[in-house]
Chains A and B, each alone.
Chain A
Amino acid sequence: MSEQGIGARVLRKEDKRFITGKGRYTDDIRNERQSYAAFVRSPHAHAKVKSIDTAEAEKMDGVIAVLNGKQLTDDGIGNLICGWAVNSKDGNPMNMGAWSALATDKVRYVGDAVVLVVAETQAQARAAAEAVEVDYEELPAVVHAVDALKDGAPQVHDNAPGNLIFDWGLGEEAAVDKALAGAAHVTEMKILNNRLSPNPMEPRSAIATYDEAEDHYTLYTTSQNPHVARLVLSAFYQVAPEHKLRVIAPDVGGGFGSKIYIYPEEIACLWASMKTRRSVKWTSSRSEAFLTDAHGRDHVSTAKIGFDAQNRIVGLKVDTIANLGAYMSLFSSAVPTYLYATLLSGQYDIANIYCNVRTVYTNTAPVDAYRGAGRPEACFLVERIMETAARELGVDPAELRRANFIRQFPHETPVIMTYDAGDFAGNLDQALEAADYKGFPARRAEAAKRGKLRGIGLASYIEACGIAPSAAVGSLGAGVGLWESAEVRVNPVGTIEVLTGSHSHGQGHETTFAQVVAERFGLPIDNIQIVHGDTDKVQFGMGTYGSRSGPVGLSAIVKALDKVEAKVKKIAAHVLEVSEDDLVVENGEVKVAGTDRSMAWHEVGLAAYTAHNLPAGMEPGLKEGAFYDPTNFTFPAGTYVCEVEVDTETGETKIVQFVASDDFGTIINPMIVEGQVHGGIAQGVGQAMLENVVYDEDGQLLSASYMDYTMPRADNVPSFAIHHHSTKSPSNPLGMKGCGEAGAIGTPPAVINAITDAIGNNDLQMPATPPRVWAALQAASAKIAAE
């Protein structure tokens, strides 16, 4: 390992500009004659739009245009779509309702955009938006997934009868039923997965500019995947043809999935810039972000797990209702299906699994992928029911897990995954050792003396990253391939630009990707520039989500580096008059092995571009591209141990110890990986104990600001103990697995298992707030008293 290569704790190159306030985010950009957009949004969860009166607004100071959905549709702008087709069990396609960027006949959730106002200043745009009068006829609303399926529930979309989008299944139901019928013990439970708001630090923003002279559009936007944005905007929404649209995602301040999707605002701003011949800018307020950023999770599930007399799992049956909100967001169908049910085998050898998923429309914000996307829901279910089963069976939860671990790889699960590597027992052992699991009874007794209830909980998670291969996801309904691209440009002076289709919005790619190049050629990372986020600069790429930048994005870079190295050796062999096979590239030199003869790296670059002395027939230049399509998903896994103390008088719960043992495969920069895990655990603690999106029965969002939506803060989390026990992924050249989501996946069940252990009542749903924990304690005491 070199000082800046793979495995080095290199400080993040990008942090200098971020921590000195010099980051360049979308809202920092201001074009010539910049105009500003404001949206008129529905105050009702469900209503018919009877009429729209814009006369007052149009007369107001600075107003350039007031635009509505009919004009948008008349101009041929297409509806927003879900890009992953999931069929029902009976073979019928999903019931996708129409979603216009500006609602025409009906609004379906509070925040649904109806009218767009463009004005000279933001204040003028907002003032005029308030002057638009929309005459609504209110309709009854439905908020909860279970209610949406009830007879007589308000109908959100006409073409989704009973609000059912699809009724999907995975696995063999009859086999699972048979296995459960013959089981020595069956544990059954209802498990809710609370709805979350993504809350990236930077709210969404878009600046659309139409250039009349070139008949060309430029969109600056807060996107995790600018090429996908361009593709969808052109191919499906007909905003502009792909070659006439440049999408730039400059510095982006966090996404957590919420910036994967195309939202109505980008479409409307692009269209408005063409209508007005002005650059149109919109930046979401935090209130708009709460209302309209795609939410995460929101599952209601029942699960049954059966064991034989030796406590080996014989079957798992799951029924889930997933709330997708008012419209199907871009990947909303895949999250509760192929990213969820496929992970229900957890780390365990389970012969029979069946999962039924019904997705429903409600009058709430659209729900889509949020950090972990389906895998946290699967992990929470599996790890809650394993812990519960252990308590019912009277066995140590760690040992019940160990007895059921998969130990042979590759392992094919009944839910279409092939796990290719892992050492689950190794991670469990490391976590238990680091947490002093054996010493817990003494710690519990000591806490009891102080009047505190101490509990411990485990979660042995597995997830799947780098969704792939493209042919496989295509066969499951994906509208896109999930490969990645890279181009490596070696300049005449030897410095390097790497153009990647991945996108960094906090992950630190400018550092880690440079480290891989530095390792390869022995160059300082300052000589390597990572270029991303601009469709005019970078070849088509798929972007960053699902912890894919390492396993997929870096693999494409490695493939391009292979090609560069091959050409470098050919040039050097020719100049030095030796065989390529005798050459090695290290420390910024191409050396003849075993001699002191060499060519400096920059000399090779110069030779490639002067082309004075190249091998016969070789093209000048030193630039190579690659597309990489993985052979399989990667499977990060590990065990988390959480220890809590509960105050019996208030239900206040403090996490007193949190230990993680992760298997991420090869780690490029341990410091950055730890940062990812810290953030993931904090978000996991947020879901488990703090965060909850709450709508009232009329569909009004009650948790609409930080006064009511609880984000995790420093004093909500302990100092984490992060450990690694790694096996390499055989599915990509560096052996990487991905680390971005693990913390958010493994943490919630570990926390809830710990709290329920402490209070002696397993009936506790997330978020486990002090009032809920206190109520569960009261119920537990009442039960003891009754007995």
Chain B
Amino acid sequence: MYDVTYHRAASVDDAAAKFSAASDGQLLAGGQTLLPTMKHRLAAPSDLIDLRGIADLVGVKVSGRKVTIGAMTTHAAVAENAELAKVCPAIVKLAGGIGDPAVRHQGTIGGSIANNDPAADYPAGLLALAATIHTNRREIAADEFFTGLFSTGLDEGEIITAVSFDAPETCGYAKFPNPASRYAMTGVFVSKGGGAVRVAVTGAGSDGVFRHEGLEQALSKDWSAAAVDGVKISADGLMSDIHCDAAYRANLIRAMAKRAIA
């Protein structure tokens, strides 16, 4: 790792100020991707601004069916939240399936979605739940937030403060983990609520998380595994790598969609 100056921000405003003052600053929101990248000397920020000490950014609030999760809430805290489990068990299951216990106690929802790794779990969940991403400057709809591989609608220095969504009538998540990294080789989040069905796929798309219109249409008419079987799932635009090709990922979208509904 190269030398870096570490800062612990006292508030969101303080973090923003420290970020602006740094020559090549990076916000640290758990560091489960950033720190290994720095250890491999593949990233060399001048300053790290740690958001961990900002109490306002931590916690899960459930009010009726309205859910708000602070950006610095760890995966473990989401996974263990009993109130959240009652209204939206799929997001709890999703969080509990990220990485290993060490990752889940360090990694945060804000850090995950800001990085928008194409194989991360949360982007699928938030996209399918039509979540709103709150920042220190504005609110961004999930559909506008996840803009492609490792890219988001965030502006330079913009800090995520929370995500919120209305828990749907029903939802589910299933992923097929990459045998080596255990990231999603393909993960599918399905949700139904307010007359709309949304299906988001992670781990498979060449350009990151995406909504699958074919599955959404079919499941809008018939919320069943049989309906999934009737959908043609194209391998176009899906990733091929040393682990599997696009055709297999297309197959996994079907298989995981069925498991997510079950």
Binding site for B on A (CB under 8 A): 123, 126-127, 130, 287, 649-650, 652, 690, 692, 694, 702-703, 706-711, 769-771, 774-775
B245 at the A interface (CB under 8 A): yes
What 0/1 pattern do residues 240 to 254 of B give for CB contact below 8 A with A?
001111001001101
Whole-angstrom distance between the Cβ of A714 and the nearest chain B Cβ? 12
Residues on A with C-beta less than 8 A from B244 are: 769-771
Contact A709 B255 (CB under 8 A): no
Contact of A709 among B180, B248, B251, B254 (CB under 8 A): B180
Contact of A707 among B1, B181, B248, B254 (CB under 8 A): B181
B179 at the A interface (CB under 8 A): yes
What 0/1 pattern do residues 31 to 47 of B give for CB contact below 8 A with A?
00000000011000000
Residues on A with C-beta less than 8 A from B40 are: 287
What 0/1 pattern do residues 183 to 197 of B give for CB contact below 8 A with A?
100000000000000
Closest to A649 in B: B255
Given the interface contacts A650-B255, A694-B242, does A710 sit within 8 Å of B180 by beta carbon?
yes
Contact A771 B243 (CB under 8 A): yes
B258 at the A interface (CB under 8 A): yes
Contact B258 A703 (CB under 8 A): no
Contact A770 B258 (CB under 8 A): no
Contact B255 A708 (CB under 8 A): no
Given the interface contacts A708-B243, A769-B243, does A650 sit within 8 Å of B180 by beta carbon?
no
Contact of B252 among A650, A692, A711, A769 (CB under 8 A): A650
Contact B180 A771 (CB under 8 A): no
B165 at the A interface (CB under 8 A): no
Given the interface contacts A650-B251, A774-B251, A775-B248, does A708 sit within 8 Å of B181 by beta carbon?
yes
Complex Cα–Cα for A400 and B180 (A):
37
B176 at the A interface (CB under 8 A): yes
Residues on B with C-beta less than 8 A from A708 are: 180-181, 242-243
27 contacts between A and B (CB under 8 A): A123-B1, A127-B2, A287-B40, A649-B251, A649-B255, A650-B176, A650-B251, A652-B176, A690-B179, A690-B180, A694-B242, A702-B242, A703-B242, A708-B181, A709-B180, A711-B180, A769-B243, A769-B244, A770-B179, A770-B244, A770-B248, A771-B243, A771-B244, A771-B245, A771-B248, A774-B248, A775-B248
Interface centre among A650, A652, A694 (most CB of B within 10 A): A650
Complex Cα–Cα for A519 and B222 (A):
73
Interface set, chain B 37-71, CB cutoff 8 A to A:
40-41
Residues on B with C-beta less than 8 A from A709 are: 180
Residues on A with C-beta less than 8 A from B254 are: 649
Residues on B with C-beta less than 8 A from A130 are: 41
Complex Cα–Cα for A770 and B252 (A):
10
5 further A-B pairs in the complex, CB-CB below 8 A; given A708-B243, A769-B244, A771-B248: A707-B183, A708-B242, A771-B243, A771-B245, A775-B248
Residues on B with C-beta less than 8 A from A769 are: 179, 243-244
Complex Cα–Cα for A771 and B40 (A):
30
Complex Cα–Cα for A703 and B180 (A):
10
Complex Cα–Cα for A708 and B241 (A):
10
Complex Cα–Cα for A673 and B248 (A):
40
Complex Cα–Cα for A769 and B245 (A):
12
Whole-angstrom distance between the Cβ of B97 and the nearest chain A Cβ? 13
Complex Cα–Cα for A370 and B22 (A):
49
Complex Cα–Cα for A127 and B255 (A):
48
Complex Cα–Cα for A690 and B242 (A):
12
Complex Cα–Cα for A296 and B183 (A):
27
Complex Cα–Cα for A775 and B248 (A):
8
Closest to A650 in B: B255
Complex Cα–Cα for A702 and B180 (A):
13
Whole-angstrom distance between the Cβ of B262 and the nearest chain A Cβ? 12
Q: Chain B's interface: helix, strand, loop or mixed, by majority? A: loop
Complex Cα–Cα for A703 and B243 (A):
10
Whole-angstrom distance between the Cβ of A630 and the nearest chain B Cβ? 41
Closest to A709 in B: B180
Residues on A with C-beta less than 8 A from B242 are: 692, 694, 702-703, 708
Closest to A285 in B: B40
Complex Cα–Cα for A303 and B245 (A):
30
- Minimum-distance CB pairs A-B, first 5: A771-B244, A710-B180, A771-B248, A649-B255, A707-B181
Contact A649 B179 (CB under 8 A): no
Complex Cα–Cα for A652 and B185 (A):
13
Closest to B247 in A: A775
Closest to B256 in A: A650
Residues on A with C-beta less than 8 A from B258 are: 649
Complex Cα–Cα for A11 and B181 (A):
34
Interface centre among A130, A652, A702, A710 (most CB of B within 10 A): A710
Interface centre among A703, A706, A770 (most CB of B within 10 A): A770
Complex Cα–Cα for A497 and B176 (A):
54
Whole-angstrom distance between the Cβ of A652 and the nearest chain B Cβ? 8
Complex Cα–Cα for A774 and B258 (A):
17
Residues on B with C-beta less than 8 A from A707 are: 180-181, 183
Closest to B119 in A: A707
Complex Cα–Cα for A694 and B251 (A):
24
Complex Cα–Cα for A690 and B182 (A):
13
Residues on B with C-beta less than 8 A from A775 are: 248
Complex Cα–Cα for A694 and B2 (A):
29
Closest to B252 in A: A650
Whole-angstrom distance between the Cβ of B190 and the nearest chain A Cβ? 16
Contact B181 A706 (CB under 8 A): yes
Residues on B with C-beta less than 8 A from A126 are: 41
Complex Cα–Cα for A692 and B244 (A):
13
Whole-angstrom distance between the Cβ of B73 and the nearest chain A Cβ? 25
What 0/1 pattern do residues 169 to 185 of B give for CB contact below 8 A with A?
00000001001110100
Closest to A767 in B: B179
Whole-angstrom distance between the Cβ of B160 and the nearest chain A Cβ? 25
Whole-angstrom distance between the Cβ of A546 and the nearest chain B Cβ? 29
Complex Cα–Cα for A706 and B252 (A):
22
Closest to A286 in B: B40
Closest to B255 in A: A649
Interface centre among B179, B243, B244 (most CB of A within 10 A): B179
Residues on B with C-beta less than 8 A from A287 are: 40
Residues on B with C-beta less than 8 A from A706 are: 180-181
Whole-angstrom distance between the Cβ of B83 and the nearest chain A Cβ? 30
Complex Cα–Cα for A368 and B258 (A):
46
Contact B255 A710 (CB under 8 A): no
Complex Cα–Cα for A409 and B93 (A):
59
Closest to B248 in A: A771
Residues on A with C-beta less than 8 A from B176 are: 650, 652, 770
Complex Cα–Cα for A536 and B40 (A):
38
Whole-angstrom distance between the Cβ of B200 and the nearest chain A Cβ? 19
Complex Cα–Cα for A652 and B245 (A):
15
Residues on B with C-beta less than 8 A from A702 are: 242
Residues on A with C-beta less than 8 A from B180 are: 690, 706-711
Whole-angstrom distance between the Cβ of A465 and the nearest chain B Cβ? 32
Residues on B with C-beta less than 8 A from A650 are: 176, 251-252, 255
Whole-angstrom distance between the Cβ of A628 and the nearest chain B Cβ? 43
Closest to A703 in B: B242
What 0/1 pattern do residues 134 to 171 of B give for CB contact below 8 A with A?
00000000000000000000000000000000000000
Closest to A694 in B: B242
Residues on A with C-beta less than 8 A from B251 are: 649-650, 774
Closest to B181 in A: A707
Complex Cα–Cα for A706 and B243 (A):
13
Complex Cα–Cα for A538 and B2 (A):
43
Given the interface contacts A694-B242, A769-B243, A771-B243, does A710 sit within 8 Å of B252 by beta carbon?
no
Complex Cα–Cα for A173 and B245 (A):
42
Whole-angstrom distance between the Cβ of B255 and the nearest chain A Cβ? 4
Complex Cα–Cα for A672 and B245 (A):
42
Interface set, chain B 15-43, CB cutoff 8 A to A:
40-41
Residues on B with C-beta less than 8 A from A770 are: 176, 179, 244, 248
Residues on A with C-beta less than 8 A from B245 are: 771
Whole-angstrom distance between the Cβ of B187 and the nearest chain A Cβ? 13
Residues on A with C-beta less than 8 A from B1 are: 123
Complex Cα–Cα for A500 and B257 (A):
60
Complex Cα–Cα for A648 and B254 (A):
13
